[in-house]
Structure 1
Amino acid sequence: MTQRLRPTAVLVAGLATAGLALSACGSDSLDSNSTPSSSSSSSSSSSQTVDPALAAKVPQKIKDAGKIVVGSDASYAPNEFIDTDGKTVVGMDVDLFNAVAAKLGLKAEFQNAGFDTIILGVKSGKYDVGVSSFTINDERKKSVNMVSYFNAGTQWAVKKGNPKKVDPDNACGLNIGVQKGTVQIDDLTARSKKCTAAGKPAIKQIIDADQSKVTASVISGKSDAMLADSPVGLYAVKQTGGQLEALGDIYDAAPYGFVVPKDQTDFAQAIADALKAMGTDGSYKAILTKWGNDTGAITDFAVNP
């Protein structure tokens, strides 16, 4: 599933220049065009004290490199997106993982990639970790370890005033925008099956790999509504200058997880323990508050919950 806040003036400028750069979570095929982008050190990460016991659990290959290579789809604001310099990956997830890396005595190097290529990239060794608002589910846990760090649900959004009178529980025959590879695809598919079973027209899914384009499709009228992870959907509403509004309540809340190779359980546990330490020292909550997402805070950081 998908699913970060930045000073409003800078964000609006970024959206204007990057075409509503907002996107989501997932990845399963390699992206040869991914670009390394070392996110700037935040105060939250630079203030972290290295924990020797946790650092000892880092795989030797990563220790030798001195960095954690991270795959991330930087189109899912406010969780992960490209800064106004056009290359640096920033966001809530980025700040959180930078702080985790600092606890382990390392730096994180974020590489922008397609959401549906990141998990395969972690499995193949292209990335050490995947950080891209991945909702933890049983299917993903079969092939990788997932470390819980945040709780998000699904949020619908429509054009201001809901001119198409969209009802999420009766969206039969409507055009609904959704990002490729997200859990919201399954949600829409199930809703559409109910429509056809009742003799009503199916829901037409307007799918795009880039969440910013999904958002733009609602503004343009190509899509009657969209659904996305709650922090992403609400952020889109806020940053589109009143062109969109949230529709209905957040539902199907589930944890996000950092993605770690299946054979690196100790490394995954070290990441979970680093998050626990951040929960204790207050830095975890401070990062979420900075991005306006403190309501998604969790306390039960775990490997494959």
Structure 2
Amino acid sequence: MRRTTAPALAGLSATALLLSGCGSDSLDDSKSSASSGAAGASSKAAEVTKDDSLAKLVPAAIAKEGTLTIGSDASYAPNEFTAADGKTIQGMDIDLLNAVAAKLGLKITFQNGDFGTLIGGVNAGKYPAAISSFTINAERLKTANMVQYYSAGTAWVTAKGNPKKLDPDNACGLTIGVQKDTVQQTDDLPERNKKCTAAGKKPITIVSEVAQSKVTADLIAGKVDGFAADSPVANWAVAKNDAKLEKVGSKYASAPYGIVVKKDNTAFAEAISKALEALDKDGTYKKILDAWSNGDGAVTSFPVNPKP
């Protein structure tokens, strides 16, 4: 499961910073597939045509490879996850990179891999690039190029109508669900509980689940009063259950996601950046995000290696 960096939260360890961004649900990394995507999203990527001026920016060695294999840990809906057939990799990130590839005149396929191996796989030449909701941070920039393409933070969700009057800034005494090993579980809610107890209030009861789907199900069943999760996850949960759930409060502790490219291949990273700029200009970028209910994470620039 992914974790966003949370620079505004005290006590975030260097280890958590390095790991933040995503993780694995022990998927088989031998599976390989092109994506199909959500209704409307993939069609937008499919409409993209080659831009000859941008295609010239792709390093010759990559341009002549034929079909590029891109690494992704497909365990994190809606950004990257497997379809009902258990093989096809789909999601917002998948559609975005498919559109980038089309703009650059490239053909790509996606291969499932454990999150912890993906950057190493890029640097070893297994993948020319990887996309898997990687949060851009200083540790990752030491070993890879990263192209900014999205901004994620933490968001809270509660039952429709907010019957418990949940306020993320005053959740003391309520029961809140989180996914295990996320920054919400390890840092965010514990920090809030310190404030609750310091103020003489009841602490938040934190209910941790291995799968985000179980966290969402707990809220729908009334077992928790709300949940805190990465904003793409929260947005998707509400979009899929809009008659039962709603977001509450504003997204916070935002940090950018980046596409990973080998450290010594800055030219390819720059080509991806230029393609994203073109997709933003023609409206495709925002249409893909909106199709996955995540337009609120759109960025306005796509730099290579932005300062965290």
Matches within 5 A, 1:114-153: 118-119=118-119, 121-122=121-122, 126-153=126-153
- In structure 1, the residue corresponding to 2:65 is in which secondary structure? helix
TM-score relative to the length of structure 2? 0.74
In structure 2, C-alpha distance between the alignment counterparts of 1:120 and 1:179, rounded to whole Å: 26
2:263 partner amino acid: K
State the 1:236 CA deviation. 0.9
Match of 1:99 in 2: 99
Over the residues paired in the alignment, what is the CA RMSD in angstroms? 3.5
State the 1:301 CA deviation. 0.8
In structure 2, C-alpha distance between the alignment counterparts of 1:202 and 1:113, rounded to whole Å: 38
- In structure 2, the residue corresponding to 1:273 is in which secondary structure? helix
Provide the identity percentage: 51
What do the CA deviations read for 1:228-282 (whole angstroms, capped 9, x no partner)? 2333312212312522221222223333222233333222222111111222333
What do the CA deviations read for 1:151-174 (whole angstroms, capped 9, x no partner)? 333210123344544331233454
Matches within 5 A, 1:55-134: 57-58=58-59, 60=61, 63-64=64-65, 66-77=67-78, 79-113=79-113, 118-119=118-119, 121-122=121-122, 126-134=126-134
Distance 1:140 1:166, change over 3 A: farther
Distance 1:158 1:89, change over 3 A: same
| 2:269 pairs with 1:268 | yes
Q: Which deviates the most, 210-219 or 290-299?
A: 290-299
Match of 1:257 in 2: 258
| 2:26 pairs with 1:26 | no
Match of 2:158 in 1: 158
In structure 2, C-alpha distance between the alignment counterparts of 1:157 and 1:175, rounded to whole Å: 12
Kept in 1, the 8 Å contact 2:123–2:144? The answer is yes
State the 1:71 CA deviation. 0.8
- In structure 2, the residue corresponding to 1:64 is in which secondary structure? coil
State the 1:49 CA deviation. 0.7
Match of 2:31 in 1: 35
Structure 1 unaligned segments of length 5 or more: list them: 4-23
In structure 2, C-alpha distance between the alignment counterparts of 1:269 and 1:142, rounded to whole Å: 17
Distance 1:251 1:32, change over 3 A: same
In structure 1, C-alpha distance between the alignment counterparts of 2:211 and 2:60, rounded to whole Å: 33
Distance 1:52 1:217, change over 3 A: same
Match of 2:291 in 1: 290
TM-score relative to the length of structure 1? 0.75
Matches within 5 A, 1:105-254: 105-113=105-113, 118-119=118-119, 121-122=121-122, 126-172=126-172, 174-180=174-180, 182-185=182-185, 186-198=187-199, 203-254=204-255
Match of 1:49 in 2: 50
Kept in 2, the 8 Å contact 1:74–1:89? The answer is no
Distance 1:247 1:290, change over 3 A: closer
What do the CA deviations read for 1:82-122 (whole angstroms, capped 9, x no partner)? 33444322222211110111233322222345556644554
1:48 partner amino acid: T
In structure 2, C-alpha distance between the alignment counterparts of 1:73 and 1:206, rounded to whole Å: 25
Distance 1:221 1:124, change over 3 A: farther
Paired positions, count: 284
Kept in 2, the 8 Å contact 1:26–1:114? The answer is no
Kept in 1, the 8 Å contact 2:147–2:260? The answer is yes
Structure 2 unaligned segments of length 5 or more: list them: 5-19, 37-41
